[in-house]
Structures are given as C-alpha cells and as structure tokens.
Chains A and B, each alone.
Chain A
Amino acid sequence: MTALTVFILLCTVFTACADEPSTSSGGADIKSFWDSTGLGEMVWWAKRLIYAGLSLEVAKWDFGHLIDNLKLLVLMNPNPRSGDVLNYIGTFIKIVIPLYMLAIAVTGFYLLLISGSPKGRAKAKFLMRDLVVGMVAVSLSPLILQLLVNVSYQATDAVLSQTDIGIVTTSMTSVLGGTDPVNGVLCPLCVLHTFVTFIEIELGYYTFLPFFLVVWGSLVFFFLRFAIISLWMIIFPLSVLLYSFATTRDVGRNMLEQTILWIYMQFFIAVILVAVALCLTQRPAGFMSVGMANDLPSNIVEKTFIWYLPSVLFDFIPFIGCLVMIIAPLLMLRLFKGFLP
C-alpha cells in the first residue's frame, strides 16, 4: 500500500467522522461555528475530492501491472508437468487407467471367447484400437498437454512479436498533463469521473463502472483463462476416456474441444491485440475519437485546466479493443465449436 493510499484512507476516516452536525440536541452552536468558519463547506468538497481520488486509486489498482506485463499475461499458461497440476492429472490417470484396462480386458474376452458375427467382431476390433490409443493418450496426458501449450505459446509469442503492442497500452494511459495526444480511454474516464463526482456524487458511481470493465475486466479475463485451462488440463484424462466410447463421445468431444479452445485462446487474444495496435497506427487522425472539441489542444492556453476538459477526446478503438478481448472467449467458443470429428 502506497503512502498516498494511506493518506487518502486517513483523510476519508477523518472526514467521515467530521460529519456536518445536526441542529437538534443542542448542536446549533456547533452548526453556527461550522458555517461561520467555512469548515462545513471544506468538508463537503473534501469528501468528494477524496471519493474521486480514492475510487480512481482503487479502480487503477494493478493497472500498472497490466500495462507493464501485458505480453506476459497473454503468454501465461499453467505448466502441466509440474506442481499441483501434475499431481491432479496423475490422480485422474490413476482413476482412468484401470477403467481402460477393464474395458480392454472385456473387449479382449469378447473377441477371444464370444466370437459373434463378423460385424460384431469388426466393431470390437475398432473399439479395441480406440481403447489402446486412448490408454496411450491418457498415459501421455501431461506430455500431450505440454505439446499443445508449447505450440500455442510459440505461435502467440511469434504473433505478438510482429508489431509493437505497446501502442495499445499507451493509447489507454495517455494521462492528464502528459504529452500529446491527450485522448485515450482512461484519461477521459478519470477526468469525467472526477468532474461528475463534484456535480453529483451519484453520477460518479456510474462513471466508476467503465474502469471495472477496462482494468479489472482485462485482468480477470487473463486469470479466468488460466484457471479454466488448469481445470481442463486436470480432467484431460477423463475427456479422452469419454471420447473413446461411442455413447459418451459427444461429452468427450465437447470437453476436448474446450481444452483446445481455451489453450489456443491466447493466440486469438494476441491476434486481437495486434489488430487493435494496427488499427491505432493505420486509422486516419481523429477516427473514432469523440469529445467536446474534436481537435486536440494546440497551445499552452488550451492546455490549462479550464480548457483541458473540453479538449479531452474519448477514443473508442482501444476501449472496444478491451471489450473484444474480454468477450473473446464467448466469440471463440461460439465460432469454433464442433471442429473435432
């Protein structure tokens, strides 16, 4: 916790305690003192200032982490060959392998002892092949998962290296007092939030919500993906088992598809980031940036505080880019479902 945060918290506690006194129960003298010294006015304004500052501080918690480590967050994957993930996979392998052995034994007995029709025998042979392949796949689960993750990681890394994705974060964080351009996503939101908090504090609650979406939405998405991949990795042996039998193939197919899609989602995210970066470099000046002025402040007078607010432009491209990144799982799961035979 930074010193600034501690200071803001202390100020908040102070102003919350120093609430405006009521005139009842002998508080009239205090109220007159309160009004005559202007303390009440100061507390009223200070409360809003602190609310705006504190809420912005809270909303941007770990935003620096997101900005500094965006590439690492995109490339982040659980390792299926180490730690708890491997232990859990091992547990599932231990559960699934006996089932495979039982199924292979039953099919073997059927082939050897209950020689049915040629069609039945052929079916049993196919099943036997699937079972053996499945058992090998289950035994090699950590290696297969590692291969999938490695391929995804390398492809994503290669895509991210094709362009400078730093422009996406720069466009989001162009801040008050910074050099041109003064547009962006967070800067207008910060200014808007502070401004409307003083107009009416309830309005500030609504302008606080986009921060959740942009900052926390992005961070939550990366950790959500990490958690879901860990889940699918752990139950990968079960997915293979269910995929081996005709009756449970649909369930197994869905589970395997989900495993693959969530792993390769980082590639899709990388493409989205690269696309947003290219959109930002490619677009004509002012495209999808809207505000009160439609042009950037050109001189020092326009950059002073009173002229600053009308000069802030809200940039839709990085904002919508963030939204696309957050809804990418839905998009991918809808578009790419049913690709396995």
Chain B
Amino acid sequence: MKNKLITALAIISLLAPSIYASGAKPPTQVWESLPDIVKNVKTGWDSWGNTRIKNFLSVHHGEHPRLLLYFAFLYFFVEGVSEDVSSNLEKYILMNPDPMKPEVLNVLNFFISALQRIYILAIAATALYMLFGSLSPRQRALSKYMLGRLVLGFLLVSISPYIISLAFQLSSQTTSMILAQADSNVVKSEYNGVLFKCWVYSFAAVAAPVVFENTAWHKLEGYIDKRLENIIEELTPDHVVAHSAADALAGQYTDMDQLESLAEKSAKQTAEGTTLGQTLQWVDKIKIEPQAAFTFPFLMLSMLLVFGLYGFLSLRYIMVMVWTLLFPLTIFFSSFELTKGLGRNMAEQTIFWIIMQVFYAVSLCVVAVGFALIPAGYEFFGIGPGDPFAYFSVSFFTIGGLLVFLLSPLFLLMMTQRRTA
C-alpha cells in the first residue's frame, strides 16, 4: 500500500507540468514538436513548480506537507489495526495463558510447595489436637471437619495447575462454540468501517477549509477587491480636487504625482470605510486556518475503539495470569474459616476473568445479530452527510453496538457484583 501511494504521488508530480504542456498545437510529427513539448513542459514546470509546489511546501512552515504526512501515518495506523482485527480478533478473544508451560508451572510450583508445607503443619497440628488435646465431642467433631477440609485443600492445591488448566479448556471450548454461531465478520467490518470513516472525517475536517479557501472564499475576495478598485478609481478625482484645494488654502505647493498618490490613499481609506470594505475585512477575519486539532473528535473516537479493544483484552490476559498464579493461594484461603471470605473473593475473581472470554463471545454474537436487525432506514442514521453520501455516515447503532462489545467486561462486572444491602 505504501509503495502504491508513493508511486501515485510520484506519477502525479511528474504529470502535473504536462497540464500546461497540453496547450501545445497538435503535432504533425512527434519529433517536430519535441522542442515545443520540452519548452512547454519547462514553462509549465516553472509556473506550476515554482508557484504551486513552492507555496505548498513553504506556507506556514510547510503546514500542508506536515498535515499530509500526519494523515498518511494515521491512515497506515488505521490500516494496521483493521488488518490485525480482521485476522486475529477471534484468536485474541480465545487466548488464555497455558499453566502447564514450564515458566508458569515453575512459579505455580513455588506457591504449591510453600503451601504444602503449611498444610502439612496444619494437618499435623489438628491430628495431634484430636489425639491428645480433644476435650468435648463438639470440639472433636470440629477438628475432624477441619482435618477433612485441610486434606481436601492439600489435594486441591497439589493439583491446582490441572484444575485451572481444565477451567481454561472449558471456557475456551465454550467460547469457540459460541463464536462459531456468530458472524464475526459483520462486527469486524463495522469496527474497521468506523475507523476508516473517522479517518475520512478527520481528513475532511482539515481539507474542507483549504478547499473552501481556494475556491469560493478566494473568488469572493477577488470579487470584493475588484469592486473596491472600481470605487477607488471613481473616488480618486474628487479627492485630487479636495487635496489641491486644501493645499491652496494652506499656501503649499504639491507636485502632481504626490497629489495623486495622496488622493488615491485617502480614496482607499474612504473605500475601506464602506460596507464592502468592511465586508472584506470580516471575510479575512473569519477565514479558517486548517489545523490538525480539527481531527481531535474523530481521533478520540478512533482511540476509544482501539484502546477499548486492545486495552481490555490485554487486561484480561494479564489478570487471568495473575489469578492463575494466585490460584493455589485461593484454595488455601478457602480452607480456613478465618480467611474463607478472602478465598471466596479470590475465587470469584478467578472465575470472573476466565469467563470474560465467554461473555466477549456472547457480546460479539449479540452485536452481530443487532447489526442485522437495525430497522430499515436507520442504518445510516448517525454522524455524517445524508443522501447521496449516506454510506459515509458513522451510524449511532454501530457506535452503540461496538461500545457494547468493547465494554462487555464492565457489564459482566456489574452482573456479577454481589449485593451489599
């Protein structure tokens, strides 16, 4: 794509002077008209290259090339993201860390071996208490119950990598089954569409003032300038008379050139005071300079989409890894009455972050179905022009649907929050 763009730019640059060359007479023989063509190309280049290109490169410290470069890189970024999303979205949703990989298992084994020692101590202490220190039947029953829980906890901690691996497999299988039901291409194309349309609007926001200035605005200024020149021409003789009279009264002598110059100057001032002169000043004042800042609203929307997707998926991957490493501790805390609450919270978090991928898949399905169910006529109801350019509209339905998909972790969080009251 980059090569294509550069090639296109090079071709346009090379062909531009030939616009002027096209004014040459139709040649009888190509070689006969060759000097004329060369001459015309040179004239065209001098005129076009020295004015347009020079202006293009030099206006306000090369503002136009800088803006073009900005849009080129924005475009490539959007293209990179959309390519990545198109080919990897499902893979990213299905991605889970593998607890059986040596690096992860190494850390898990560290926790497991530390906790096993504590379990063995606790089991030994409880057994000794049962054998030698048991007082009442109630206490004996409690000790037995405690011993059972400790042994169970010990076993669960020892096999915790397999348990968490099983949980990942279950979650992953369910997610892939749900994803198979959804037409994810609809969501992907809508996502990419919004990114590209945001780019188009950003470009338009900057390009529109430039185009407007060079066309209608330029013509309006030219028209008013011409009218003002006429007014000045009409007013000048009267002002010559007025100035010569004033000089005569003052007893001064002024030569004719100086008199005309003074008269023209005062006529110009009078003309500038007229409604037309004032209009020209206002036209100049309300002129809009193209700035990259115009792109901010659309840039923000694009960044929300990019960070919403990649940020939450990265967060999930990291948090799943964190709770995988803490899983032996989760089982350990759940084993004791005092720390049961803590263990339950940790277990909930482990489950929450694992099943988030299932929820992502469900959201993807829902949003895909939702896009298909948008009432007729509302597909293009959103930001953008109406007919005949309705295709370029960023639909509110699309933005809403994509936000539902991107913010699905927050919905899951709200759903799974325990009621405090």
What is A's interface to B at a CB cutoff of 8 Å? 41, 44-45, 158-159, 162-163, 195-196, 198-200, 202-203, 271-272, 274-276, 278-279, 281-284, 287-288, 290-294, 309-310, 316-317, 319-321, 323-324, 335-336, 338-339, 341
Contacts and interface: CB of A to CB of B under 8 A. Distances in A.
B270 interface: no
Interface string B52-70: 0000000001000011011
A310 B2 contact: yes
Nearest to B81: A290
Contacts of A288: 92, 310, 313-314, 317
Interface stretch (B24-32, B100-108, B219-227, B255-263): B100-108
Interface of B: 2, 61, 66-67, 69-70, 73, 76-77, 79-81, 83-84, 92, 95, 97-98, 101, 103-104, 106-107, 110, 114, 291-293, 306, 310-311, 313-315, 317-319, 321-322, 324-326, 338-339, 341-342, 345-346, 349
Nearest to A48: B61
Given A275-B321, A276-B321, A339-B339, 6 more contacts: A202-B293, A282-B321, A291-B80, A292-B77, A324-B319, A335-B345
The 4 A-B pairs of least Cβ separation, nearest first, read A292-B76, A275-B321, A200-B292, A316-B314
B104 A199 contact: no
A279 B342 CA distance: 25
Nearest to A324: B318
B296 to A, nearest CB: 8
Contacts of A320: 311, 314-315, 318
Contacts of B346: 335
Contacts, number: 121
A279 B61 contact: no
Contacts of A293: 76, 80
Contacts of A278: 97, 103-104, 107, 321, 325
Contact of B318 (A199, A276, A284, A335): A276
A92 B214 CA distance: 76
A17 to B, nearest CB: 19
Contact of B110 (A159, A284, A291): A159
A162 B315 CA distance: 22
A294 B98 contact: no
Contact of B322 (A199, A202, A271): A271
Tell me the dominant secondary structure on chain B's binding face.
helix
Given A163-B103, A198-B66, A279 B110 contact: no
A278 B349 CA distance: 19
A290 B101 contact: no
B188 to A, nearest CB: 15
30 contacts: A159-B107, A163-B107, A196-B70, A196-B292, A199-B70, A200-B291, A200-B293, A202-B292, A202-B293, A203-B292, A274-B107, A275-B325, A278-B321, A282-B104, A283-B95, A290-B80, A291-B77, A292-B73, A293-B80, A294-B84, A310-B2, A316-B311, A319-B314, A320-B314, A320-B315, A320-B318, A324-B319, A324-B322, A335-B346, A339-B342
B318 A294 contact: no
A317 B76 contact: no
Contacts of B61: 41, 44-45
Contacts of B325: 271, 274-275, 278
Nearest to B58: A41
Nearest to B315: A320
Contact of A199 (B2, B66, B106, B110): B66
Contacts of B349: 335
Tell me the dominant secondary structure on chain A's binding face.
helix
Contacts of A275: 318, 321-322, 324-325
A336 B345 contact: yes
Contacts of A281: 103
A227 B315 CA distance: 28
Contacts of B95: 283-284, 287
Nearest to B80: A292
Nearest to A327: B315
Residue of B80, B97, B321, B338 contacting most chain A CB atoms (<10 Å): B321
Contacts of A323: 315
Contacts of B84: 290, 294
A287 B88 CA distance: 9
A95 to B, nearest CB: 30
Contacts of A284: 95
A279 B81 contact: no
B310 A195 contact: no
Nearest to B293: A202
B310 A290 contact: yes
Residue of A158, A271, A321 contacting most chain B CB atoms (<10 Å): A271
Nearest to B96: A282
Contacts of B339: 339
A272 B106 contact: no
A339 B341 contact: yes
Nearest to B333: A339
A195 B73 contact: yes
Contacts of B66: 198-200
B318 A321 contact: yes
A203 B317 contact: no
B291 to A, nearest CB: 6
Nearest to A320: B314
Given A324-B319, A336-B345, A294 B80 contact: yes
Contacts of A283: 95, 317
Contacts of B315: 320, 323-324
Contacts of A45: 61
A162 B95 CA distance: 24
Contacts of A287: 92, 95
B306 A272 contact: no
